[in-house]
Chains A and B, each alone.
Chain A
């Protein structure tokens, strides 16, 4: 399977994918860094907002 990277399409087997999970106050993120021969060639981020905002609240208070 080929993966799109900044160096074009590269075989999945030649890439190393490293997942990092970030826990924040109101979100949880999974950042996937793709390395090709040690060089970063792709990075994805998926952020889940855990809770929205009340209209009578302030963002700093969530």
Chain B
């Protein structure tokens, strides 16, 4: 029998659940999960890994699009698949009957409970929508495909 150097798989999931605070953290009023939102951004915007929070700058706009985006449905807790912790929203993101004339190619997920802090930015092929629906379908919730993964 030998010891194996490793990061605990449980720790990865617990990080996603906000259990550990290796630095200064925020005061929480309870044990409920945070609320997250998804906002669309123009192809001309400059969101990247240095984006720290949601900002209306560069956000898509148009008929029936509400600044700040849509609520992320989060019915599934982070899970472990092998040694990879992962999380994926439990519903697709939808914008109904919108007109977005300026090309957009990114969605930002951010934490609306924690001062709109940014979680991630995902890009896709540039799109416009005219009086129709825009849907972002989530990937399979698994260790190799989940929207957020920590291996």
| Residues of chain A at the chain B interface (Cβ within 8 Å) | 4-6, 22, 24, 26-27, 29, 31-32, 34, 40-56, 58-59
Our count of residue pairs bridging A and B at CB distance below 8 angstroms stands at 97
Which of B49, B132, B147 is A49 in contact with, Cβ under 8 Å? B147
- Cβ A54 vs Cβ B151 within 8 A: yes
Task: Find out whether the CB atom of A47 lies under 8 angstroms from the CB atom of B125.
Answer: yes
Q: Pick the contact of B129 from A4, A45, A49, A53 — CB < 8 Å?
A: A45
Report which residue of A4, A27, A49, A50 has the largest number of chain B beta carbons within 10 angstroms of its beta carbon. Answer: A49
Which residues of chain A are near B122, meaning CB under 8 Å? 26, 49, 52-53, 59
A8 to B48 Cα, complex, angstroms: 39
Measured between beta carbons, the chain B residues less than 8 angstroms from A55 are 148-150
- Flag if B129 contacts A44 (CB, 8 Å): yes
Q: Is the interface of B mostly helix, strand, loop or mixed?
A: strand
Asked if A52 contacts B86 (CB within 8 A), the reply is: yes
